[in-house]
Chains A and B, each alone.
Chain A
Amino acid sequence: MNRFLPRVLMTPAIATLFLWMIVPLVMTIYFSVIRYNLMQPDQSGFIGLENYIFFVTDPSFWPSVLNTVLLLGSVILITVVLGIALALLIDEPFPGRGLVRVLLISPFFVMPTVNALLWKHMMMNPIYGVLAQVWIFFGATPVDWLTDWPLLSVIIMVSWQWLPFAALIFMTALQSMNREQLEASRMDGANYLQQLRYLYLPHLGRSMAVVVMIELIFLLSIFAEIYTTTGGGPGDASTNVAFLIFKQALLNFDAGVASAGALFAVLLANIAAIFMIRLVGKNLDK
């Protein structure tokens, strides 16, 4: 075997990814230090850090950072906790388990735009929505979800989409549980909570790392759900960093400020990446 061959084989992937990363990055850095408003093409030129200052002092900035973290944290927490509960529930055979599996995974295949519209209209509409009908049935006042609880609404939609994924990963992991160990612990008089604490949860450690990693990657820049439902509002109540940059670029036509924001998003992604590498590196090493 030629010793250069392995490198040759890796080259296409590394080269394309490198270009995919570096070309937009360099262009973004360039755009971020010039005046670049699509509506005012006559004004241009180097303006230093002005775009950055504008982006960071925008009153929407800190709320959007907070929303990004809240959204990510809540969805990960909800999907991991409920996913484990669900996986434990369907771990052992029962009638119709195959069909349950198929029905459960379905939301994962639904495109975000459909997910968002489905929840916005048919579920969360305060008059005709299914949730409103349920609330009325129990004698409660229907909630105007997207107006009163915009961020929570987005969290519910995204969690609905990712819960099946987490549950099935945990279910796959549970299948390799050591049944004799479980049996032995039962003989020794361990109750279910003790089994959960000392046998099930440690066994699920690696799959938790995988779920957190994949969700981090896909949820850091949630866009479609916000774009099609709340449009980031009311006010900034459901604007995350990704959506704020989008607003600057395509609604305010200010590519310069959007580029400065994009670099901030890259920074945020890197912080998350470091966190992820620590977490996953520890759990995936053999």
Chain B
Amino acid sequence: MSRHSHVSPALVVRTLAAWAVTLLLFFPLGWLFLTAFKTELQAISVPPLFLFEPTLANFHEVQERSDYLLYAKNSVVTSVLSTLLGLAIAAPAAYSMAFFKSKHTKDILMWMLSTKMMPAVGALVPIYVLAQTSGLLDTQLALIIVFTLSNLPIMVWMLYSHFKDIPHEILEAARMDGATLWQELRLVLLPLGMGGLASTGLLCLVLSWNEAFWSLNLTAANGGTLATLIASYSSPEGLFWAKLSAASLMAIAPIVVFGWFSQKQLVQGLTFGAVK
């Protein structure tokens, strides 16, 4: 495209259209943000209020009513630990599949993905019974185990598609030069595979943070994550929109802000190496 001193009309139209669509799609979140700083009366005012004096009262009330920090801590602990554990199990498997490909590799990958398609609800009764008999009901550990296992297929697949793009020759050269397996992994594979590990980890962090099914069914007041806290606002307090918004905002802000900073890496990783 040639650069002129004047702005082309096509660019203006495209810019306006893109911004209009974006603001439309972002509106519900923006509205949630605004409502969190309103009084309950302002929240349901007709017509909707865009200009008002913001208040922090809702956030205080949410914290008083339910121990936000406990739920937030559970969310952080379960998502971070399950991500680390998942990477520790998935990375060796992905390495092995990518660099020592056998004729079963593809079948194993497909099998792994197919376990992910089994609806969680299918395993609800047995997992609930197992958690109950082992005393893990309503604990962080139960969620860490379940999150790790349910994210594992995606992690192996994502890491595999990253690792297989690393040229084998580099690893072989290192081996020829007498590098031990540990050196090969630490000095060659780790730097080259860092991008893949990062985007896989990021995705799992987001998925675990937002996971609702197992959190709702396996935990309550002790091991509950922010997803359970919000669900508890669903019926009676649903009528108090300002408080609901404040609680929601507190639940999603950490992961959304985190996502903003890592979105490029994350999207790149999600393409499963199929999209360049």
Contact = CB atoms under 8 A, between A and B. Distances in A.
B255 interface: yes
B256 A103 contact: no
A281 B119 CA distance: 22
A28 interface: yes
A224 to B, nearest CB: 4
A207 B271 contact: yes
B47 A122 contact: no
Contact of A209 (B122, B130, B274): B274
Given A13-B93, A17-B153, A284 B272 contact: yes
A112 B149 CA distance: 20
A27 interface: yes
Contacts of B258: 109
B259 A9 contact: no
Chain B CB within 10 Å, residue with most, of A86, A119, A216, A273: A273
A262 B125 contact: yes
B124 A249 contact: yes
Given A16-B149, A28-B123, A31-B126, A89 B118 contact: no
B119 to A, nearest CB: 3
Nearest to B161: A284
Given A111-B252, A207-B271, A23 B126 contact: yes
B142 interface: no
A109 B252 contact: yes
B59 interface: no
A17 B108 CA distance: 11
B206 A109 contact: yes
Interface residues of B, number: 95
B251 A133 contact: no
Interface in A190-231: 206-207, 209-210, 213-214, 216-217, 220-221, 223-224, 227-228
| Chain B interface, DSSP helix/strand/loop, else mixed | helix
A12 B216 contact: no
Interface in A226-276: 227-228, 241-243, 245-246, 249-250, 255, 258-259, 262-263, 265-266, 268-270, 272-273, 276
B255 to A, nearest CB: 5
B75 to A, nearest CB: 9
B127 to A, nearest CB: 6
Nearest to B125: A255
A117 B234 contact: yes
A224 B152 contact: no
Interface string A59-97: 000000000000000000000000000100110101111
Is chain A's binding surface mostly helix, strand, loop or mixed? helix
B210 A111 contact: yes
Contacts of B96: 5-7, 9-10
Chain A interface: which size bin? 35 or more
Nearest to B273: A284
Interface string B228-269: 001101100010010011001001100110111001000110
A265 B118 contact: yes
A242 B119 contact: yes
Given A6-B96, A169-B275, A272 B117 contact: yes
Contacts of A95: 15
Interface of A: 1, 5-7, 9-10, 12-14, 16-17, 20-21, 23-25, 27-28, 31, 86, 89-90, 92, 94-97, 100-114, 117-123, 127-128, 130, 133, 137, 160, 163-165, 168-169, 172-173, 176, 206-207, 209-210, 213-214, 216-217, 220-221, 223-224, 227-228, 241-243, 245-246, 249-250, 255, 258-259, 262-263, 265-266, 268-270, 272-273, 276-277, 281, 283-284
Given A111-B227, A128-B44, 4 more contacts: A104-B26, A112-B227, A224-B213, A273-B117
Query: 5 closest pairs, A vs B, by CB?
Result: A221-B119, A13-B93, A224-B212, A6-B100, A27-B126
21 contacts: A1-B100, A27-B125, A28-B122, A94-B15, A96-B19, A104-B22, A110-B252, A111-B251, A114-B252, A117-B248, A130-B27, A207-B275, A210-B272, A210-B274, A213-B113, A216-B117, A224-B213, A245-B124, A273-B113, A273-B117, A281-B110
